[in-house]
Structure 1
Amino acid sequence: SDWSDITIININIFVTYLYLYFYINMLLNLSILTLNVWGIPFPFISKDRELRIAAIGLELSSGKYDIVSLQEVWSRKDCETLKNATESVLPYAHYFYSGVIGSGLLVLSKYPILSSFFHPWSVNGYFHRIQHADWFGGKGVGLCRILVDKHVVHLYNAHLHAEYNNNNDDYKTHRVIQAFDTAQFIRATRGDSVLQVLAGDLNAQPHDLTYKVLLYTSKMKDCCNSKNIVTNEYQKIRILLL
């Protein structure tokens, strides 16, 4: 009887190990890209926008990515260009409409998007500072529930308020509040998802309070920092644009 019990326990452990092995492998093989496309629809601000959007669409159509999280897709034309360029490899898409000019957040996915939800931030710049325009975007955090091989994955897309002035940052408190709000939203919506990914432009560095509040409140891990992934490298962006 004892040996039978031990055998059953060993079998259960082995089966559990196999399940975890394949489960973890599935997660590790999920390729997710986040990019701020700088799609401000004014040529004197955002140079070569149409050429860059076309080049980005070409890169995304390569089939290397399972989920793509984009920010600053302000133009409906740019949104359609990116969706049309990637529909053969990323057939599922969702744009989060918000504010006067839209949130700028676009998600493209290889896997079905089950549902989506947009949570606007209560603090987002100033109405009278038209030159900064963050207020008009109606910014917030967008959630896409994506079905990946029978598992629900939550993809969160967000673009926190810009800094504009390093020496006199009037929007630091705005970003901290946005980070805290985003972290609470992630914790409140985890539900039955097996994986939660925040892929966006956070306008924050590891030493910033915004970053620390977001990380510790959400109880998430910084995959880019732990894997030493280089981000925002000019040379890579230049190659992409070619």
Structure 2
Amino acid sequence: MDSPGQIKVLTFNTWGLPLASKDDKLRLRMQAEYFRQSGKTLDVVLLQEVWTDEYVALLKDAAAEAGLVHATTFDGGVLGAGLLVLSRFPFTDVAFRPYSVRGEPGALQGEAMSGKGIGYARVQLPYGGRCTTLHIFNTHTHANWVHSVTPDAHLPDVKVPTDAFAPYRTANILDAIAFVKPILVAAEAAGDLVLAGGDWNVPVDNLEAALLVELLPGLRDAWQLAGHSALDSKGNTCGDPGNVYTGSIIGGYVPERIDFLWTNSSRVLECETVLKIMPGTTLNYSDHFGVRGIISCEVDSKDPCVVAMVRPITFPEECSGSGSAGDAVAMGCWGPTGGDINLRDRQVSAAAALPRSASSSGPFRTSPGPMAESKVAVDPAGNVSGGAACRKVSRRVRLLQLAGEQLRAGVDATTAGQKRLLRRALLFAAVTLVAIAVQLYGILAETDYWAKRLAAAVAVSVAPSALGLCLSQLVWMSMGTAGRRGFGQLARMVEVWEKVARAEMEG
């Protein structure tokens, strides 16, 4: 059998948004030069915020000179998706799933007008053995300008976002999970490599990332697989104080690692941040840094019935009785995932080595599917129950509860927004009618010449503008209806996932 080979991959947010970004002409030319030179050492490039056809052509042509001759974009919405994938190897399939919920209609940020979603490309690899196919996902979720979070009382490693845009990001992540899951399952069964990269706009310890890790346990963070700490500041890709464009980010900056490479590979040889300062300048390539990884095509073959990827933490006394970790494990009260990914990998290996009868109870139990179940002591209302007989709810259930809360908050916010838009539409309609009435008065009334001209001028300038604003509110209301339905559909999906998680836990 031939060597499984390696994939050299890069994900990068280009900030290629004319008018709204700074120095975009210069930066995109310098980015093209980077790919013309350094692209020779890359196999796959995932780009975000390539918003114009001009920039797509610029980057594609430069990358092609470096051997990245295969390219595909993913389009949707009024402004497009801004996603571009470059590859040294040929595509055999491409697909795109627009996100059900895109943003607040009428908001200045313009998220609702974009066509954000998650793109997929299947790539034919030149390696022998089982490693002949690579599955690529590229995405850019709703931006985060506020960065306000609160810790969850039951999952201390998970920070729950509280900003007004959090429901949109959560919805995007859930859409991405639903799209990736069946492809990931089939790929793992076939021994295929999977890479999911992009600007996820969430740090690794936030709810949205925890949902992705929990619901797609086959995917792991390449940064951590390469030996880095999850929250190592060297991995920060956005909001870095050393980036000259950090001050241009709406809402200021919070140094975070929000650009990820997720993979099902068994080994990541290297993962680092790149594309920082442009040669010969003091400027940066973008307001983001890129992430470059060297990833083995070798995929672990794990028993899909083994439930692992968990590690003990300090357990609440309500679950442990005596307060010891050992008692807590015996009772099924588990701690959250995260932290030392290598430790979890060792636990996975230990669990997989156990006979099925031995792993059906205790820390590593089996279930009908590849679930990572960590126990926390919460009741259906989300309250900690007391005593040694506490109700044990899986980590997955708790995360889905939090996701459901975000989606319901999105429905409520969208409904309230539609009411505001309706009030504005009525106001502008009233202004339009008054302006038309004034114009008629100026034409028909017995008054002096200059008064007529003044009335007509006011009416001619005000009436069309007010009518246009009235119609825009109605259009945004229809977009809000689509968003509310998108939130509702995702909420129903989460309810199904939660029921399945509870059934598997209780079974």
Tell whether the structures are fold-level matches, with TM greater than 0.5: yes
The corresponding residue for 2:97 is 119
**Structure 1 counterpart of 2:61, from 84, 101, 106:** 84
Query: Does residue 222 in structure 1 map to residue 225 in structure 2?
Result: no
Q: Equivalents in 2 of 1:141, 1:237: separation in Å?
A: 23
1:52 and 1:241 in contact (8 A); partners too: no
The corresponding residue for 1:46 is 21
What letter is aligned with 2:169? R
5+ residue gaps, structure 1, are 1-18
Q: Equivalents in 2 of 1:152, 1:86: separation in Å?
A: 22
5+ residue gaps, structure 2, are 149-161, 229-233, 244-273, 281-507
1:1-242 alignment to 2 at 5 Å? Answer: 19=1, 22-23=3-4, 26=5, 29-42=6-19, 45-62=20-37, 63-88=40-65, 89-129=67-107, 131-149=108-126, 151-167=132-148, 169-190=163-184, 191-192=186-187, 194-219=192-217, 220-227=219-226, 228=228, 230-232=235-237, 234=242, 237-240=275-278, 242=280
Shifted more, 159-168 versus 62-71: the winner is 159-168
Q: CA-to-partner distance for each residue in 1:162-182, whole Å, 9 max, x for gaps?
A: 011224611112111211221
Change (3 A) 1:241 1:189: farther
SS in 1 for 2:47: strand
What letter is aligned with 2:170? V
Change (3 A) 1:187 1:146: same
Q: Which runs of 4 or more aligned residues in structure 1 lie more than 6 Å from their structure 2 counterparts after TM superposition?
A: none
SS in 1 for 2:62: helix
1:92 and 1:111 in contact (8 A); partners too: yes
1:71 and 1:201 in contact (8 A); partners too: yes
1:180 and 1:217 in contact (8 A); partners too: no
SS in 1 for 2:143: coil
What letter is aligned with 2:101? V
SS in 1 for 2:41: coil
Q: Equivalents in 2 of 1:132, 1:122: separation in Å?
A: 18
Measure how far apart 1:196 and its partner are.
1.1
SS in 2 for 1:162: coil
Larger Rg, first or second structure (1 or 2): 2
Root-mean-square deviation over aligned CA pairs = 1.9
**Identity, % of aligned positions:** 28
Shifted more, 173-182 versus 222-231: the winner is 222-231
1:113 and 1:147 in contact (8 A); partners too: yes
Q: CA-to-partner distance for each residue in 1:22-52, whole Å, 9 max, x for gaps?
A: 22xx1xx21000000001111xx31110111
What letter is aligned with 2:165? Y
- Identify the structure with bigger relative contact order (alpha carbons < 8 Å, sequence gap 6+): 1
What letter is aligned with 2:31? I
Q: Equivalents in 1 of 2:46, 2:31: separation in Å?
A: 12
Q: CA-to-partner distance for each residue in 1:36-77, whole Å, 9 max, x for gaps?
A: 0001111xx311101111111111122121100000000110
Q: Equivalents in 2 of 1:107, 1:231: separation in Å?
A: 23
The corresponding residue for 1:13 is none
What letter is aligned with 2:215? T
Q: Equivalents in 2 of 1:102, 1:142: separation in Å?
A: 12
SS in 1 for 2:179: helix
Measure how far apart 1:133 and its partner are.
1.2
SS in 2 for 1:126: coil
Measure how far apart 1:238 and its partner are.
4.1
